[in-house]
Amino acid sequence: MAGAGSAAVSGAGTPVAGSTGRDLFAEGLLEFLRPAVQQLDSHVHAVRESQVELREQIDNLAAELCRINEDQKVALDLDPYVKKLLNARRRVVLVNNILQNAQERLRRLNHSVAKETARRRAMLDSGVYPPGSPSK
C-alpha cells in the first residue's frame, strides 16, 4: 500500500503530475466541505439578523409596557414583565455575541483554507515542491 507521500495515480493507473494523494485528498475534502461551510455561514448571518430584529421588538415592547404602566389610572404591576423582557433581551444579545464570534472564526478558517489552497496550487503550477515531497 502506498504511503501518504507517494504520487497519486489516476483511474487508468498513470501518475498524476505534481499532485500527491494527500494533496488530492485535502482538495477533495475542501471542495466537499465548502458548500456546508457557506450554508452554515449564511444561516448564522440570518439568525443574527433575526436576533437584532427580536432585540428591537423587545425594546419596543418594554418601552410600551412602561408607557402603559405610567398612563394607567389603576396601578398595574408590570415591572416583573418588563424585567422578564429585559432578561430575554440580555440573553438574545449574549447568543448574538456567541454567534458573531463563531461566524468570525468560521470566516478566518475559510480564509486560511482558501489561502493554503491557493499556495498549494501556485506551488504545483510553478513546479516548486517542498522538501520531502516526491518529484514529478
pLDDT at 40: 84
What are the distances in angstroms from CA 113 to CA 14, 49, 51, 87?
29, 26, 29, 39
The grid cell for 47 is: 439568525
List per-residue pLDDT tens for the chain, 136 residues long.
Answer: 444 444 444 444 444 445 677 778 878 888 888 888 888 888 888 988 998 898 899 889 888 888 887 777 666 677 788 888 889 889 988 998 998 898 888 888 888 888 888 888 888 888 766 665 555 4
pLDDT at 75: 65
- CA within 13 Å, CB half, 77: 1
